Structure 1
Amino acid sequence: MVMTATAACVTCGNPLPEAVAGRRYCSNACRQRAYRERSSAREDSPHDSALPAPLDTFVGRREELASLARTETARLVSLVGPAGAGKTRLAVQHVARRADQTWWAALAPVSDAVQAVYTAVGAHPLPNRSVRDAVVAEIEQHRRPLLVLDNCEHLLADVADVVSELLASCPRLRVLVTSREPLRLAGEQVFAVGELELPPAEADVTEALRYDSVVLFRDRAVSVDRSFEVDATNVADVVAVCRSLDGMPLAIELAARRITVLSPADILARLGDRLALLTGGPRAAEDRHRTLRTAIGWSYDLLSEEEQAASRRLAVLGVPFDLGVASAVCGVADALELLTGLEQKSLLVVDRVGGHTTFRQLESVRLYCHERAIAHADISLVADRVVEWVCSVVEPEISSFFPSPPVVLRLDRNVGLLALAVKRTAETGDWSRHALAIVAMAWTSTPHGPRGATTELLHQALSRPMPQAYRSVLAVLAAMHHRVRGGWHVTRRFAEESLAIERADARRPGTTARALEVLASAEAHTGGPELAWRLFDEAAALLRESDDKLARAILLNSYGWTLVQHGFPDRAAPLVHEALTLTRLIGLPHMLNPVLHTAGAITLARNSFAEAVDLFRESLEVGSEHPVDQYYDLEGLALGLVGVGSDDERALSLLVSAAAVRTRYDFRAEPYWQALLDEARAVCRERIAAGRLRAAESTGERMSLAQAISYALTARPNAEADGLVSARELHVATLVAEGLTNRQIGQRLGISPHTVARHVTHARSKLGLRSRAQLAVWAGRQTP
């Protein structure tokens, strides 16, 4: 940053002769004039020099502005975020009237950071002195100077040097930087500027307009079409557009400008090609902010070749990924530094859930990088590397009774990659690795749907050539798939195929025991219970000397559950007790879920209903990681409640909700269990009054599985609290029980949806209820 300036008078600019070298003015008149100008600048109220003057409104960012206000004492603050996040607009809004002198340097169009700063502060050349000295001299004339350096990412190293020198030389100076990555200087406070807050997908108009993303869409749409408004007919589409665009301001603004020729529904339908759709920003905007493609391309072009390749290849995945997957896809031993660099450049988003870190690209960034991946022929390369990764995870586990929980968890977290591996191996005819990809899919247990591969995939895979060890695993997985759907004869056929392969090999006790376990349960339901007990005993003998406690626990639980169904709860009890002890010893709470269910079934068979309620409640609590498996526990809890006779309405709602899950995924109850469910529903219909009966059934029909679990675990409202609910709140709750929305209730009662929501919230709070569904059930109980 050393540069010699031409000797000239600071005030009039006339050359200074060498004889007066070291002086700043050619005369006393010029010196007095400069003094008056400086005094005037200091005496004026806060002065913003060359601040951008936006022509449209500033929307939202209330929390961000409040947080920035608390950084007043920080000498270096960097607003960092991805393309189109609104960093410049936020900086303009923040700096207004926060210093006695503010200088704004727009660096996007320049290539020399030193000269840009020199020009922005209006420094005058000093004879035989450096530009740095001139800038420092100008800054030091002010009590509270603020320098804003806007869009620094392409000059990062130079800007870091300039800022570091100026902060060291000017103790009163504060610097605000906007960039897509931080300067990484000592004392720098990095302020992340991300997406605008997004409303829930089902938000109505009133709720949606509480969110900045929707307000921004509305305001920019109105700026080009004064007749536009967010109403009941388009709110769902507007919300979906904002959510699809990740709440990024530039993308939302560009989408809203299309409202002159496209409806919100049309815009939403075209977002798959958003890089072509989102163009036509204001003419006054910088070129890189006039289209979404150029905004993202600006960031992409600043990456190193290695970072560009990583961005392209990760974009092919289309789903969140962890460090291991990223390393495999990028073809490096450890992608940590690559991912760190991309995150710092605002091209990756980091999510941390349950102590586990995953990464993802904003969808607009991903689509841009995916275009680049196609151009660089990266698609097949990435697919092959995903296949390699999947096989490396699965192959070491195929000789086990059950894959280790860490492997299952790893597959669960990367479940979105498995379909890519299945598709790629089918395209290339690599049937051995295709089988492993299907096995990986069958091992998953996601929170959002039924576990495993589809019937069609399993059957098609078994029709292909593959090693016998792979065929055995696929066959037993197919048997398990049909078992949960009540197809006992098909279950037996596939289990017999797997067992025949295992007996011929006789070297894999774990997979042999697994085939025996599945075959035993099938035999018990197809007329061969005595053979079933012998098969279970053979499997248990194979695992007796094994260190695999989880395998033994799973086997004993299956044995016990089958015994209970055939009328032998006392024989099942010690087996399930051992399974429960082993599972608790392993320390995997979510694996307790099926064992607690069997223990609860034993207590039901013994008419110990209160104990059954406690066991099924515990099972619901520990199984929350994979709630799709918990419909069984809802049913068990309902059976216990009916047995106790304490809460028939709740029991019926749970039975109806669980039945909906079974229907959705074609999970059929065993004949023994189904008979218990049918009997419980009949008892509820006899005990519950007609008005309350329909309310309980309606509640069960409307509840999602997650809501049903929450409802099951909520204590019954205290009867003493009923009197605290006002007449209007009771009326609103009754209408909630009828299935009306807040808007419909408001129309019927002549009040606003917001007021309805307030009544619902107050009623729930008074009654100690967690959800709207629980309020509906309570209201149903108030009906004579």
Structure 2
Amino acid sequence: MGRRERLAALARLGAEQRLVSLVGPAGAGKTRLAVQHVTRRAEQVWWTALAAAPDVVQAVYQAVGAHPLPHRSARDAVIAEIDQHRRPLLVLDNCEHLLADVAGVVSELLARCPRLRVLVTSREPLRLAGEQVFAVGELELPPAGSDVAEALRHDAVQLFRDRAVSVDRSFEVDSSNVADVVAVCRSLDGMPLAIELAARRITVLSPADVLARLGDRLALLTAGPRASDDRHRTLRAAISWSYDLLSDAEKTACRQLAVLGAPFDLGVASAVCDVPDALELLTGLEQKSLLVAERAAGRTTFRQLESIRLYCRERAQECGETDVVADRAVDWVCSVVEPEISSFFPAPAVVLRLDRDIGLIELAVARTAEAGDWTRHALAIVATAWTSTPHRPRGAPTELLHRALSQDLPPAYRSVLTVLAAMHHRVRGGWHVTRRFAQESLAVERTGTSRPGTLARALEVLASAEAHTGDPELARRLYDESAELLRSSDDKLARGLLLNSYGWTLLQHGEAELAAPLVRESLTLIRLLGLPHMLNPVLHTAGAIALARKSFPEAVALFREGLEVGAEHPMDQYYDLEGLALGLVGAGYDDERALSLLTAASAVRTRYDFRAEPYWQALLDEARSVCRARITAGRLRAAESTGERMSLAQAVSHALTARPVTGDDEGMVSARELHVATLVAEGLTNRQIGQRLGISPHTVARHVTHARTKLGLRSRAQLAVWASYDHNP
């Protein structure tokens, strides 16, 4: 099923190379791919099934139909038979349990038979010189949410449908079950054997029922075709065959890594397996197709296919290893978090490390709560508060924070948790609760703990709460004290974040001009530190100041940059969508897109109970009113509907990529007009543009007028906003 491109690639490789190994995990379809490949060959092919063979040479001897030679070995007889053919191909199927023997035989045959080609199927390579490894993995999977037509364009769904129809001719993939079929295929990692076994259950279970039972898939996915060998009759048997071939150390690593339930890197694997360096273990398991290595952004992580993980986790439970592994995960999380709890803000590298290993944090939270280890539970919750995922915003859930704070904790840990609780309620508009928690943290830090970072953070959070609960003068004194502490500590990142908070608070109280130099310094500090992912909140405040000054093109540019640099943490981007929308509305440009962005951001706020500050909420309400007044009724509903349907990631993409339609070729802006518009967006006057381009200010004005006319824009400010977008075809 499918694999057309893989077959073509295999055919090209087989024509060029003498030794090709099809390597992949249990049930990936290596044998079937090999069968399809050899049926297309006109030359002599010998198929050698090694799954049940005790001796490689004898199996090959029988497969090639060799004849005994007087006083010669069986190997000599095999070579004599092979030499009679012009371009023979020897296939050795299922070699993983006889790797050393197979490698020895293949090496000799290739050396003595210059016309021979060899195709091997195995769960790990032979590791011979000249061997070309051809990875056989999962079938192509459709994205979640695919409709019927889209789903059936993918090999995994086609396989499920065809195998289901083979046992129930009335079955079809339709709108009522497509979501469940896609979910089944994705949950099974696109592995052909698992999909086939799941599809065979359609005689008694619906796709929804199959999906619901996949948590116990090793019991569910049984009863393969009677013609299959025993290893392929059940999913458990297929995985067990691979597991039983491992060394004791590899079996232990497989079991212990399965407890994590999340991708991991080399450092985490070493900690969990309690070895100085797990490199050789991971390398061996990856080569044996029991781990999948994934490389992105210069980093390698590993994961187990879910079916393999569930099998190995069962073995870990039988060996009593689940609690041991959970305790090691707790040790790892605490070792990363504890050195940072006295900081105003944890080191960005630490946050990134925790973001990448969120699965360990969840395991550590559960284990410490179960064991009543409240001190280390507090550290695990701190790790949760510092992290985010593409589907969850930064911060610990309310119930976790409050439950931990109900326990007896060391003062230093309690202080960190209370300030995190204060920050948690701050983004939800609970200013009085924020104030109470911040005061509690400050009381601990005032007792002479000599932790300027945590003291400064408590002061900063309390200052923002005081500003919103009626004492702005006290807020300024608290901010100033916090800034002085950080100045002496020389923590530039912390100072940058504090100045941004101070500036944002001043702006909300009508002090845009006082806020501007603070935010400008904050932006400079964080840019100098080379931390683009930390720029997001500062760019937002800078954009808000530009809005207050009515500098709408500048605001749009700043909010767009915030969306771009915040890509690693998409759940933080709803604020920038709102800011960009405000800039568009202020410039009188693209009200419909602005309303869509406001609607999409509002959905995020509702989902997570993120309440805008009164100052910001007033701007949002006014922008919506302006949009509704300027957009016709039909287009208004369409814009809101678009925003309601978009995910946050889609809204960000829409914000960054959409640009005006300029009509037919006669109405297109010329290259010179585009250049002029770009310089307008930079804030240059007509005279300055003329000096840069070597043309008169009058000519610049004519280009500006022509561009505005072609685009239907009413002002120079609108042209500047338009020019801030990418206009490459």
Q: Match of 1:692? A: 635
SS at match of 1:562: helix
Deviations 1:305-360 (A, max 9, x none): 11111111111111111111111111111111111111100011111222222111
**Displacement of 1:548:** 1.7
How many angstroms apart in 2 are the aligned matches of 1:121 and 1:368? 38
Deviations 1:49-79 (A, max 9, x none): xxxxxxxxxx111111011011112000000
How many angstroms apart in 2 are the aligned matches of 1:476 and 1:91? 61
CA contact (8 A) 2:452 2:489 kept: no
**1:68 partnered with 2:19:** no
Deviations 1:496-539 (A, max 9, x none): 11111111024111111111111111111111100111111111
**1:415 partnered with 2:364:** no
Q: Match of 1:123? A: 66
Alignment of 1:80-479 (within 5 A): 80-98=23-41, 100-479=43-422
How many angstroms apart in 2 are the aligned matches of 1:141 and 1:457? 74
How many angstroms apart in 1 are the aligned matches of 2:186 and 2:63? 39
| TM-score, with length taken from structure 2 | 0.90
How many angstroms apart in 2 are the aligned matches of 1:122 and 1:103? 9
Amino acid at match of 1:424: R
SS at match of 2:573: helix
How many angstroms apart in 1 are the aligned matches of 2:136 and 2:402? 49
- Aligned CA-pair RMSD: 1.4
Alignment of 1:500-539 (within 5 A): 500-539=443-482
Amino acid at match of 2:49: A
Q: Match of 2:707? A: none
Q: Match of 1:34? A: none
SS at match of 1:675: helix
Q: Match of 1:733? A: none
**1:720 partnered with 2:701:** no
Alignment of 1:563-712 (within 5 A): 563-712=506-655
SS at match of 1:554: helix
Deviations 1:685-705 (A, max 9, x none): 111111111111111111111
Unaligned runs of 5+ in 2: 668-710, 712-729
Larger Rg computed on CA atoms: 1
Mean CA deviation greater in 186-195 or 697-706: 697-706
**Displacement of 1:721:** 4.9
Mean CA deviation greater in 706-715 or 181-190: 706-715
**1:553 partnered with 2:464:** no
Q: 1:490 to 1:721 in 2, by over 3 A?
A: farther
Deviations 1:178-227 (A, max 9, x none): 00000011100000000110112212222211111111111111211222
**Displacement of 1:436:** 0.5
Mean CA deviation greater in 140-149 or 346-355: 346-355
Deviations 1:131-152 (A, max 9, x none): 2211111111111011000000
Deviations 1:399-424 (A, max 9, x none): 11110011101111111221211111
CA contact (8 A) 2:258 2:309 kept: yes
CA contact (8 A) 1:99 1:146 kept: no
Q: Match of 1:734? A: none
CA contact (8 A) 1:519 1:532 kept: yes
SS at match of 1:438: helix
Deviations 1:593-649 (A, max 9, x none): 100101011111111112111111111111111111111111111111111111111
**1:488 partnered with 2:488:** no
SS at match of 1:720: coil
**Displacement of 1:446:** 2.0
SS at match of 1:505: coil
How many angstroms apart in 2 are the aligned matches of 1:386 and 1:715? 44
How many angstroms apart in 1 are the aligned matches of 2:337 and 2:103? 47
Amino acid at match of 1:212: D
Q: 1:722 to 1:687 in 2, by over 3 A?
A: farther
**Displacement of 1:97:** 4.2
Amino acid at match of 2:443: A
Q: Match of 2:701? A: none
How many angstroms apart in 1 are the aligned matches of 2:214 and 2:664? 50
Alignment of 1:23-38 (within 5 A): none
Amino acid at match of 1:448: H
CA contact (8 A) 1:99 1:145 kept: no
How many angstroms apart in 2 are the aligned matches of 1:605 and 1:230? 55
Amino acid at match of 1:419: E
Amino acid at match of 1:586: L
Q: 1:243 to 1:96 in 2, by over 3 A?
A: same
How many angstroms apart in 2 are the aligned matches of 1:427 and 1:65? 51
SS at match of 2:535: helix
How many angstroms apart in 2 are the aligned matches of 1:306 and 1:547? 47
Q: Match of 2:673? A: none
How many angstroms apart in 2 are the aligned matches of 1:294 and 1:317? 23
| TM-score, with length taken from structure 1 | 0.84
Question: Quick one: percent identity of the two aligned structures?
Answer: 81
SS at match of 2:99: helix
Amino acid at match of 1:270: R
Deviations 1:705-729 (A, max 9, x none): 11111111124232315999xxxxx
Unaligned runs of 5+ in 1: 1-58, 725-766, 768-784
CA contact (8 A) 2:419 2:441 kept: yes
CA contact (8 A) 1:86 1:249 kept: yes
Moved over 3 A (4+): 721-724
SS at match of 1:70: helix
Deviations 1:83-142 (A, max 9, x none): 001100100100124252111110000121121112211222222222221111111111
Q: Match of 1:43? A: none
Amino acid at match of 2:90: L
Q: 1:699 to 1:304 in 2, by over 3 A?
A: same
How many angstroms apart in 1 are the aligned matches of 2:373 and 2:516? 47
How many angstroms apart in 2 are the aligned matches of 1:180 and 1:506? 57
Deviations 1:213-261 (A, max 9, x none): 1111111112112222222222222111111111111111111111111
